[in-house]
């Protein structure tokens, strides 16, 4: 009986790459396209929200979100994502990957639309409802992490598994890029249709009433790609590995695999085989701690450290660009024009650094290995962050901004051709099938706790040390230079913790996780 089960799993490991593999990448990847769009599009419109709802009569600067509101708007989705990763990861191991896969997508669609439909004009009411729906948006996004990674790892063959999982995650790059492009288009249309002076010329008229539609449309557009792939998600069968190893039904596993991977094993599977593993240990057992405790520590710490740096840089790159003088002073622009400038800067970074980095990983991960790419990425990010931080005063001088932007783009390139991709791939490979989604969810949740630290902490840390130069309502921080130094040290720690993570290149999932020894 164990032999019949092994026959199913071995067939998956050596199955040739087929069209269905690419279909699965697109179906799962569109969820990540939506995830990235929804998580990062908020950074495009936060300055506009400040102008619309927190304008101070007679102020020399445009209105800005108060510290607590800004932290909540930027970070609440990450809180929801963390909860969703833990909940749906656990649920995916209990009920199966397919049963809960469509639920996450519908939560994302509904919450995306609702986040742009907050009623009224009172700042507290608008921000409160926006934060409420962005929490639930994050909750749906969180479920996509463990489920998409696990589904793709269990469908793939061992030769190309890393590239397939990384390709799903790489759709994030297109989501970030699309968010910037969409914001450019919407702000251009509104700016051409509703002309407004700069804040310096007329503070009130610089924010036209129609600007309220710009941020709402930008947020709501995230529902479109998720809706387009819902039907196809529901058509995907349960993964053969879950059916065989967790549900203990090899006949159904063979039937499902035969449908999608053109491998006929149904005739050889005449009965449902029920078999208990010799050692079906759970998550909170000494057996798990001895076999996989250090692995889980490695995947959680590296993802946690990576996300502190990565999300700090992504969410607040508009503030970094303003600090070095790459973006014009806020008072020299109207509200919609500022969205256009921020979106253009972030799109350029995504186009030059973020998107290419993801696809370098896709192409090379099964040749170079996960460990090598992750260690290389963390190490080079550390070097570049020190190169930005130590001579920071040099970069702020006129004429030196291009050099800063190039180095800054390279940190994104090596984050994505590095730990931002591998921290997603590895937890989907190294744990047993019955705990795979759960452990991936725990690892991803550790990452999102790092994102929360980045979203809430960097906002305060990066404030000027001179309290007269801080943004309205913020206490003095440690300054942008010291904040970049902190991020460099975090990247260095990530490189060190990478040594706890095993290499999975070229091995079957059962070999890596030790399941082939549990019979």
pLDDT at 90: 94
The structure tokens listed for 462 are 């990066």
Judged against a pLDDT cut of 50, whether residue 267 lies above it is answered with no
The structure tokens listed for 258 are 């035969």
Judged against a pLDDT cut of 90, whether residue 423 lies above it is answered with yes
Judged against a pLDDT cut of 70, whether residue 3 lies above it is answered with no
CB neighbours of residue 20 within 10 Å: 15
% pLDDT > 90, the chain: 44
**Candidate ranges 119-123, 153-157, 421-425; pick with highest mean pLDDT:** 421-425
Please give the DSSP secondary-structure letter assigned to residue 15: P
Chain segment 464-489, per-residue pLDDT in tens: 777 776 766 677 778 778 888 999 99
Q: Where are the alpha helices (DSSP H) in 156-279?
A: 161-193, 211-220, 223-235, 240-241, 250-261
Distance CA 12, CA 508 (A): 9
Chain segment 432-470, per-residue pLDDT in tens: 988 999 999 999 999 999 988 887 777 777 677 777 767
Distance CA 233, CA 246 (A): 21
Judged against a pLDDT cut of 70, whether residue 173 lies above it is answered with yes
More confident residue, 329 or 290: 290
Q: Which long-range contacts (CB under 8 A, 24 or more apart) does 378-381 make?
A: 378/302, 378/306, 378/418, 378/419, 378/491, 378/492, 378/494, 378/495, 378/498, 379/495, 380/410, 380/414, 380/418, 381/309, 381/411, 381/414, 381/415, 381/418, 381/419, 381/488, 381/491, 381/494
Chain segment 275-291, per-residue pLDDT in tens: 444 457 888 899 999 99
Distance CA 208, CA 188 (A): 14
pLDDT at 516: 67
DSSP string computed for 353-422: IIHHHHHHHHHHHHHH-HHHHHHHHHHHHHHHHHHHHTTHHHHHSTT-HHHHHHHHHHHHHHHHTTHHHH
Distance CA 233, CA 452 (A): 29
Residue 434 near residue 93 (C-beta atoms within 8 A): yes
pLDDT at 268: 46
Distance CA 419, CA 354 (A): 13
User: What count of Cα atoms within 13 Å lies in the side-chain half-sphere of residue 169?
Assistant: 34
> Closest Cα partner for 433 from 234, 278, 240?
240
Q: Compute the mean pLDDT over every residue in the chain, rounded to the nearest whole number.
A: 85
pLDDT at 324: 65
For residue 56, is it left (φ>0), alpha (ψ between -120 and 50) or beta?
Answer: beta
pLDDT at 251: 80
261 pLDDT tier (thresholds 50, 70, 90): low
pLDDT at 141: 92
Judged against a pLDDT cut of 90, whether residue 424 lies above it is answered with yes
pLDDT at 270: 43
Place of tokens 């599977």: 269
Average the pLDDT over 421-427 and give the result: 95
Chain segment 43-68, per-residue pLDDT in tens: 889 989 999 999 888 888 898 888 88
Judged against a pLDDT cut of 90, whether residue 340 lies above it is answered with yes
% pLDDT > 70, the chain: 89
Distance CA 19, CA 24 (A): 9
């Amino acid at each position: 009986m164990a032999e019949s089960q092994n026959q199913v799993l071995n067939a998956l490991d050596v199955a040739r790459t087929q069209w269905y593999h690419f279909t699965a990448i697109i179906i799962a990847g569109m969820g990540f396209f939506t995830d990235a769009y929804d998580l990062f599009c908020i950074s495009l419109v936060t300055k506009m929200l400040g102008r619309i709802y927190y304008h101070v009569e007679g102020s020399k600067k445009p209105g800005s979100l108060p510290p607590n509101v800004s932290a909540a708007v930027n970070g609440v989705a990450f809180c929801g994502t963390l909860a969703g990763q833990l909940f749906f990861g656990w649920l995916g191991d209990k009920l199966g990957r397919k049963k809960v896969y469509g639920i996450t997508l519908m939560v994302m669609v509904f919450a995306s639309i609702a986040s742009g439909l907050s009623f009224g004009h009172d700042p507290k009411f608008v921000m409160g409802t926006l934060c409420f729906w962005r929490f639930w948006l994050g909750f749906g996004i969180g479920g996509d992490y463990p489920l998409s990674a696990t589904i793709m790892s269990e469908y793939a063959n061992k030769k190309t598994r890393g590239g397939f999982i990384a390709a799903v995650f790489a759709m994030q790059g297109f989501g970030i890029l699309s968010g910037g492009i969409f914001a450019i288009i919407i702000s251009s249309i509104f700016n051409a249709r509703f002309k407004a002076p700069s804040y310096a010329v007329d503070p009130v008229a610089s924010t036209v009433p129609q600007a309220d539609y710009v941020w709402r449309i930008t947020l709501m557009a995230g529902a479109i790609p998720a809706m387009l792939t819902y039907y196809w998600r529901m058509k995907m069968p349960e993964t053969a590995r879950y059916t065989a190893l967790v549900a203990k039904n090899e006949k159904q596993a063979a039937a499902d695999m035969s449908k999608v991977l053109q491998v006929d094993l149904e005739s050889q599977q005449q009965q449902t085989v029920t078999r208990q593993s010799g050692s079906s240990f759970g998550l909170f057992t000494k057996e798990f701690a001895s076999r996989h405790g250090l692995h889980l520590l490695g995947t959680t710490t590296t993802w946690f450290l990576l996300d502190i740096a990565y999300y700090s840089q992504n969410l607040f790159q508009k503030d970094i660009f303003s600090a070095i003088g790459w973006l014009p002073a806020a008072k020299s622009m109207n509200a919609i024009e500022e969205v256009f400038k921020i979106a253009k800067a972030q799109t350029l970074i995504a186009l030059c650094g973020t998107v290419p980095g993801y696809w370098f990983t896709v192409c090379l991960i099964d040749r170079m290995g996960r460990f090598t790419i992750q260690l290389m990425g963390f190490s080079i990010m550390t070097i570049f962050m020190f190169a930005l931080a130590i001579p920071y005063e040099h970069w702020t001088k006129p004429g030196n901004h291009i050099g800063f932007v190039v180095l800054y783009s390279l940190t994104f390139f090596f984050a994505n051709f590095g730990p931002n991709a591998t921290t997603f791939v590895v937890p989907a490979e190294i744990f047993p099938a019955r705990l795979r989604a759960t452990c991936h969810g725990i690892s991803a949740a550790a990452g999102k706790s790092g994102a929360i630290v980045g979203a809430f902490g960097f906002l305060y840390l990066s404030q000027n040390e001179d309290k007269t130069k801080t943004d309205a309502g913020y206490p003095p921080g440690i300054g942008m230079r010291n904040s970049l130094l902190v991020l460099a040290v975090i990247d260095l720690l990530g490189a060190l913790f990478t040594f706890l993570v095993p290499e999975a290149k070229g091995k079957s999932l059962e070999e890596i996780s030790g399941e082939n020894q549990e019979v």
